[in-house]
Structure 1
């Protein structure tokens, strides 16, 4: 299970008040039967979401036309800030937010604490069509058979590369590239004179900056913990993977890679400052938009590079959930179902452009002729990447949690951030990889000992 409730202990100083499951059940009931508690003529809901979903605000006039009694107030925040605020608000039962953006790391953990409203019955009504969600994405947002969030978009990872630069250099991208092959190509394409990096890879100090590196660790045969929760961050396989990644980004990566997160690599690729980028399938729509990208029409797409596994892509989704503390749960669901509906996808394409439609959530999106035409360069590689994700065993070994590029325990956000800081320092040359991983091993031991995972 992604969250071992019977073993978790709240850390001293953290306010993790457990809301009884009965409260969550009552909240679900409230959505269907307690609408009278809301004044439908004067309902204002607050939506707290990540910056990546700002387009909801551009289209919300459509929601207002069909729901004139509901006003929507948006709070768009960087994901680290958002996650911190949401956990404090829900645990403290403050009820500031009615709809929240979460990912597959939060969904099962927060559901197990009774923080989220179960959505199965609501999502099963009318023409919402919950079965249309891509199965692996729907599974990642579930807990004990219940659905606790619905996807705004979903993503895996693949390798994006400049076909024009490859042709000029007389190079060919392998059909299924390995990491050593990618490193050799990056070295050939790295061009300091023209300011073009051989490859752009995340190297920043935030825990989500570890997503690409974690897939490298898994395909090299490494892991964070073994089946008994013993940390394995100093194992030979993990060391080999991290050394490879650090050497690659230091030798052929973007300038100041130790500060680079997804936004920096996104900008570098769109400006034509990188020959390759290994990152989210979500970015393809941005890169193929000729209105904002200098490389539209110039990119090829290959599967996530591997070493010892058959595939190595991650799975992430930004999804919408309703906290049990929402003051307006019925109105919250009306908005949530609108923003994750088939109607919304079509509205987005017609008004904001088909190539940038939120991908990876619904199968029906990939059958829409305007989207198929606009996304033809990356549609099949992106779907294949999502189809290849193994949530239960993404690497060579069994793992006692569900997830690809994160560890499904409450402490991982803090642990991941501390480890990312050490890896980033190694990329910056302030310490060796061995020194970084030795510290990471200590951090990981503190977590499993403090959380009782090895009891």
Structure 2
């Protein structure tokens, strides 16, 4: 058993007692507490109207907790959930292990409409093992009014050097405005999603072609130092505790001049019902290091998958087909407007004039996703794929440990050099144990 699953197996055996998935006609869905998923839960009645014989139970969790619990359940065959919300990191690994049920949909679902890069990441040996609910890359969101007030012009393709200078100039402690908000909360899919993408754009890499960790390189030192120094100078208070949701709230409240994060944030920062700066947001591509051309864009999608241990696979598939269909997109548009439909999964959405007109972030999102190359995530050659992650089973455990080290450095509990040294030794040890 790899390090990805060793740490949770004992806890899983103790916790998987009353398995909700065993009740016929009832499905239990484990999902993340982001806006698109919360919206889907709010539309559950629409599903049950069409399928009154299926009862839906929701288990909504913070991102790190969700990953821990579904990994525990899937690795032990616990059967606690009938539908898992997982990413394109887990799907190919778990599909190969036989832990997920393959999905087949009828012609009306239109599998060929799924964006090729998204569909490819969910396919193992020709079989689809999850259906994408939303997809994303990363881009930079900024306050156009604050830039104008400061006499700054955002380039179409900004460098980190420009972003660092602008963030410090835009910081206004008296007004409670941070120059920039970036993820700091520890986790392989939290702070390390951003930090890995940043490092990629600096020319750093997790491993060389011999699978030797590279945290002792100049590129990692420069990227990590830039990140920590920038957040200390221009970030919000308590940045080491902020993940996607916390920074989203800060930006919506007008407390961040810039924010670099998932393109799915576009609909939420421009929603006048929830964002005080909805009409003052601009979007540009993820920054680069001066002299380099790698933007470090990631490619991620939250997907709905059925664990092989589910006792209600037919009902679970019925829900997944509904929640990831074109009809669901149209349903959200009718209830919330086209700007709020789940983005980043279907070609047809980006050919829809109503969506393109309603969503100022649509074109930047598609451009960011098109620019992402998970087969070549950094400047130098690497033996792995993935943008903001390394697509090996051991990464979940290693990435979380390294994320804790970076969060400590950001909180001032250790130096950048100490964090990098510990990241190097820890990663080296775990990779040796795993047989690399």
The TM-score normalised by the length of structure 2 is: 0.92
Measure, in 2, the Cα distance between the counterparts of 1:78 and 1:251.
28
- SS of the residue 1:100 aligns to: strand
Measure, in 2, the Cα distance between the counterparts of 1:434 and 1:423.
10
Q: Deviations over 1:215-242 (max 9, x none)?
A: 1111111111111110001111111111
Count of residue correspondences: 420
Measure, in 1, the Cα distance between the counterparts of 2:117 and 2:161.
29
Q: Deviations over 1:9-42 (max 9, x none)?
A: 78766549xxxxxxxxxxxxxxxxxxxxx99xx5
- SS of the residue 1:441 aligns to: helix
Which of 106, 131, 139 is residue 112 of structure 2 equivalent to?
Answer: 131
Q: Which residue of 1 aligns with 2:197?
A: 215
State the shift of 1:92 in Å. Answer: 2.3
Measure, in 1, the Cα distance between the counterparts of 2:148 and 2:63.
38
Q: How does 1:63-212 map to 2 (within 5 A)?
A: 63-119=47-103, 122-123=104-105, 125-207=106-188, 208-212=190-194
- 1:298 matched to 2:280? The reply is yes
Q: How does 1:209-288 map to 2 (within 5 A)?
A: 209-288=191-270
Q: Which residue of 2 aligns with 1:428?
A: 411
Measure, in 1, the Cα distance between the counterparts of 2:269 and 2:399.
28
Does the CA contact (< 8 Å) of 1:152 and 1:339 recur in 2? yes
Does the CA contact (< 8 Å) of 1:137 and 1:361 recur in 2? yes
- SS of the residue 2:256 aligns to: coil
Q: Deviations over 1:236-283 (max 9, x none)?
A: 111111111111111111112121111121011000011111111011
Aligned CA RMSD, in angstroms, stands at 1.9
Does the CA contact (< 8 Å) of 1:49 and 1:101 recur in 2? yes
Does the CA contact (< 8 Å) of 2:3 and 2:394 recur in 1? no
State the shift of 1:399 in Å. Answer: 2.1
**Structure 2 unmatched runs, 5+:** 11-21
Q: Which residue of 2 aligns with 1:419?
A: 402
Structure 1 outlier segments of 4+, above 3 Å: 8-16
Measure, in 2, the Cα distance between the counterparts of 1:343 and 1:311.
34
Measure, in 1, the Cα distance between the counterparts of 2:71 and 2:362.
35
Q: 1:345 to 1:10 in 2, by over 3 A?
A: closer
Q: Which residue of 2 aligns with 1:336?
A: 320
Q: 1:355 to 1:243 in 2, by over 3 A?
A: same
Q: 1:10 to 1:394 in 2, by over 3 A?
A: closer
Does the CA contact (< 8 Å) of 2:356 and 2:363 recur in 1? no
The TM-score normalised by the length of structure 1 is: 0.88
Q: Deviations over 1:61-92 (max 9, x none)?
A: 22222222222111111222222222222232
Q: Which residue of 2 aligns with 1:449?
A: 432
Does the CA contact (< 8 Å) of 2:377 and 2:385 recur in 1? no
Measure, in 2, the Cα distance between the counterparts of 1:158 and 1:49.
24
State the shift of 1:331 in Å. Answer: 1.1
State the shift of 1:126 in Å. Answer: 2.2
Does the CA contact (< 8 Å) of 1:309 and 1:395 recur in 2? no
Q: Which residue of 1 aligns with 2:13?
A: none
- SS of the residue 2:43 aligns to: helix
- SS of the residue 2:368 aligns to: helix
